[in-house]
Structure 1
Amino acid sequence: MANKVWHTRLGLDLDLNKPDLGQPGMSGLWDVLYQLDRADGARGKPVSERGLQCGGVCRDAGVVAWMYLRQQANGRREAVHEHAEDEDRHSAPMSDEHKAYQDRIIRVAEQGGFRAGSEVRTTIAPRKWFQTDAVVDNGAGLRIGWEIQLSTASTAGPRSVRNRASRAMSNGITPAWHTDMTRLARRNETQWTRSDDLPAEVIRKTGVLRVVSGFRALDIWRCDSRALYPCPDGRITRCGKTHSTPKPRDIDFDSLVRSTAAGLVVPVEFPDKTTTHRFWVSADDRDRYYDLLGGAPSGPAGPELVPKGHASNDGPTCRPRATLIPSQRPTVDWRSASHWSSTARPCRFCGSVTNLRDDRQLPAHKVCYEAQ
């Protein structure tokens, strides 16, 4: 709800805190406008066509937010936003730090040659949309939607992080959530990144801004007597398989913004026995990890973020040069350690390097092998 309303058809600023709505000499203005708005609603006229906009916080933020009028039983006059996103803008005003992050994302993205905008609305149905703090578009179909969360975030409901991230993905936006709160960065409903709690002037100025969690390097290793890590399968003796272990790495925030837009840093889902961890890795590490698994993994825990019927944003690690009628060949268990080599060699089908080996121990990607 808001107290300041802009009437587009009359060209009037209205202040609901004042008996005359801030328009001296226009007696009975509220009664006229309220009855007209109720009549429009009864006829099914969309809120966006009734001529009432938020004239306070939303207008100051450069956002067109449509409203309708309401009067409580005690006579209290109210102007209500059509969309919850606009209502939230009043109850939780944007902090200086939040705005500084938005400004920095826009600046470094544009310096990197990408298109970027703040408070970007994405239409998902007639008169229905959602808003993203900042969107970076590389012009080739990849859009990164940055959400800056510097306060508590809900875990359930339509405004939860999981639902908002899922909604972004289903509409072609890769979600990127950034925070300065450790307890948020430890959650796994989306790919969280975290920087230290810093004042707005430090966030906004040019210089190194470290991302201290959320970006990792993937260490691919064979579980033998020379391994540095314990067997993730819990075996005392070595299993002989090849595993992947994520290792935290710092990254500069500006580099993260540009690299995600360029597709050089990508989101990945890393399942273990109890949950699915979500973080960012280099595209090369993602491809090596998918080669190890023989394709993108399916986690045992946590709702899937990509809605059914929508393709993944991640392309295959290689593309076969030709698609032939499948031939009868033995089934290959690509997860077996016998189909992995520590030496990367050119795939015999597409020529790109791979650590995978087929049933004849020849280098071959899973997708290339199965397409022949």
Structure 2
Amino acid sequence: MHTEYDIPINLTRPLQERERERLQCLDHHEHGACKAEQEGQSPWMTVRRCRRGGQLILVAAHLPVRSTPTKPESMRHQALKERIVRAAEGHGLTADAETTAQGSERKIRSDIRVCGPAGIVGWEAQYSPITAPTVRRRSQIAVEAGITPLWVTDSDRAALINRAPWAMVDDLPWQEIASRSRMLVRGGVRHLQEWKCVAGAERQCPEKAASMYGCGAFHTIWELPALCLPMKRHTEVDELVVASVDGSFVPLQVPLPSDPRQASRMRVPAQDRERWRSIVGHESTPVCEEAPPDEELAFHDEELDTKCRFGEENTVRNDPRPARGRADDRGLRTFAQLPPRIPNQASGRPISGAERQEAAEQYGYPVWEIGPCPGCGQPIRRHGTGAAHACPACRSRLITSWT
């Protein structure tokens, strides 16, 4: 509460939900119009943290004019929604457009919800700018309601990348998006690559790039299809619509060794995730991205500047956003040796429907998530989020023999 003016101030609300007409440009207040207004912008202000000369300071900045997405953005948004629905329904899946539901006392909004054997995926076609806090907030609400969000962008600088499950597509006109031509996923889908780093290896050592002989260790990375050896084909959007809910492409978080608060988020083939679990020996703990620690603000006690600085604000703002969808964001891991793959000894013994049903009731999971352990053949939960690649006994035996 501002005690002098008796104005309540709620800083917990997102910027777009706050009362805008509180802070006014001094130039506008004194002269009736400011430079921002002359250029068709807002005279109302907010306070932002910015960096100047290596120090964190507070500056007044003009609020953006409230606007709806541009016509091209809206048309591409609509075209992608229609394409997702068409792909889902063409494969016998249920797809609901512009659905809003109530969950955890908060509204859950998704552009498209696709339902399948492995769960519900809430697709978000995001062609207009969006902030990282908004992505995190909406994604968390969806997850609490049992919906896996999947954000789609056409920019490698989008704030949503690696802050929620995501996919990047090409910057295409709405006509091409709406057509039946191929639409490839350029980012957000990766494949596991593993190799022994020795002289003559197809891949260069990722830790000692200048070495001709390799480091002798084993490396694993999650690679884009075009950078795999041998090269893999790109996943198409229509294919991902189906694969994301039938269990063939599953979500994965790989914490970054350089910063445990950050993670590389991706969709990967189910068999690759199983292999990854056998290598690391356990399931990686989900990462909850934290805000960077508070940095001390610098105050310079400068004389009040009443001149409108609209257009000059970029000189004190943070550096332009770096590309977030990077080809080197691969979750590199190095091991003295890799565990062998569990031999598929039980491949000739398919489990019966009765065994599958009994196991589903025992473990409390849907029938379609039950499959045979490749080591011993007993029914286990093989599919779905958090499933295991083999039974605990076979995994333990493999890891013990490896170590």
- TM-score, normalised by the number of residues in structure 2: 0.52
**Counterpart in 2 of 1:307?**
none
**Counterpart in 2 of 1:106?**
85
Alpha-carbon distance in 2 for matches of 1:151, 1:144: 21
Match of 2:68 among 92, 108, 114: 92
Q: Deviations over 1:288-334 (max 9, x none)?
A: 11111112223778349xxxxxxxxxxxxxxxxxxxxxxxxxxxxxx
- The one-letter code of the counterpart of 1:145 is G
- The one-letter code of the counterpart of 2:85 is I
Match of 1:120 among 75, 94, 99: 99
Alpha-carbon distance in 1 for matches of 2:203, 2:288: 24
Q: Does 1:217 align with 2:196?
A: no
**Counterpart in 2 of 1:196?**
170
Match of 2:344 among 323, 343, 346: 346
1:103 aligned counterpart, secondary structure = helix
Moved over 4 A (4+): 230-237, 335-339, 369-372
Match of 2:276 among 276, 280, 289: 289
Alpha-carbon distance in 2 for matches of 1:263, 1:196: 25
State the 1:280 CA deviation: 1.3
Asked if the contact 1:185–1:214 (Cα under 8 Å) also holds between the matched residues in 2, the reply is no
Q: Mark the CA change 1:120 to 1:233 in structure 2 (over 3 Å): closer, same or farther.
A: same
What pairs up with 1:267-306 in 2 under 5 angstroms?
267-274=251-258, 275-298=262-285, 302-303=289-290
Q: Does 1:244 align with 2:244?
A: no
**Counterpart in 1 of 2:364?**
none
What pairs up with 1:299-314 in 2 under 5 angstroms?
302-303=289-290
1:340 aligned counterpart, secondary structure = coil
Alpha-carbon distance in 2 for matches of 1:186, 1:164: 11
Give the paired residue count: 238
Asked if the contact 2:103–2:144 (Cα under 8 Å) also holds between the matched residues in 1, the reply is no
Asked if the contact 2:162–2:263 (Cα under 8 Å) also holds between the matched residues in 1, the reply is yes
- The one-letter code of the counterpart of 1:261 is V
Q: Mark the CA change 1:206 to 1:197 in structure 2 (over 3 Å): closer, same or farther.
A: same
Asked if the contact 1:175–1:191 (Cα under 8 Å) also holds between the matched residues in 2, the reply is yes
**Counterpart in 2 of 1:322?**
none
Alpha-carbon distance in 2 for matches of 1:232, 1:294: 22
Identical-pair percentage: 27
Runs of at least 5 residues in structure 2 that lack an aligned partner in the other structure: 1-65, 227-233, 292-333, 347-371, 377-388, 398-403
What pairs up with 1:157-196 in 2 under 5 angstroms?
160-184=134-158, 187-196=161-170
- TM-score, normalised by the number of residues in structure 1: 0.56
Alpha-carbon distance in 2 for matches of 1:267, 1:245: 13
Q: Deviations over 1:101-121 (max 9, x none)?
A: 111111110111110101112
Match of 1:142 among 113, 119, 123: 119
**Counterpart in 2 of 1:368?**
393
Alpha-carbon distance in 1 for matches of 2:144, 2:393: 28
**Counterpart in 2 of 1:130?**
108
State the 1:233 CA deviation: 5.6
- The one-letter code of the counterpart of 1:352 is P
Asked if the contact 1:291–1:366 (Cα under 8 Å) also holds between the matched residues in 2, the reply is no
**Counterpart in 2 of 1:151?**
128
**Counterpart in 2 of 1:324?**
none
- The one-letter code of the counterpart of 1:238 is C
**Counterpart in 1 of 2:249?**
265
Asked if the contact 1:120–1:134 (Cα under 8 Å) also holds between the matched residues in 2, the reply is yes
Q: Mark the CA change 1:239 to 1:297 in structure 2 (over 3 Å): closer, same or farther.
A: farther
2:343 aligned counterpart, secondary structure = strand
Alpha-carbon distance in 2 for matches of 1:351, 1:202: 44
2:158 aligned counterpart, secondary structure = helix
Alpha-carbon distance in 1 for matches of 2:201, 2:123: 38
Alpha-carbon distance in 2 for matches of 1:370, 1:259: 26
Q: Mark the CA change 1:340 to 1:258 in structure 2 (over 3 Å): closer, same or farther.
A: same
Asked if the contact 2:192–2:220 (Cα under 8 Å) also holds between the matched residues in 1, the reply is no
Asked if the contact 1:223–1:243 (Cα under 8 Å) also holds between the matched residues in 2, the reply is no
Q: Mark the CA change 1:336 to 1:221 in structure 2 (over 3 Å): closer, same or farther.
A: closer
- The one-letter code of the counterpart of 1:99 is Q
Q: Mark the CA change 1:221 to 1:298 in structure 2 (over 3 Å): closer, same or farther.
A: farther
Q: Deviations over 1:251-274 (max 9, x none)?
A: 211111111121111111122322
- The one-letter code of the counterpart of 1:346 is N
Alpha-carbon distance in 1 for matches of 2:222, 2:238: 26
Alpha-carbon distance in 2 for matches of 1:168, 1:300: 17
State the 1:366 CA deviation: 7.5
Runs of at least 5 residues in structure 1 that lack an aligned partner in the other structure: 1-89, 305-334, 355-363
Asked if the contact 2:96–2:113 (Cα under 8 Å) also holds between the matched residues in 1, the reply is yes
- The one-letter code of the counterpart of 1:111 is G
Asked if the contact 2:162–2:265 (Cα under 8 Å) also holds between the matched residues in 1, the reply is yes
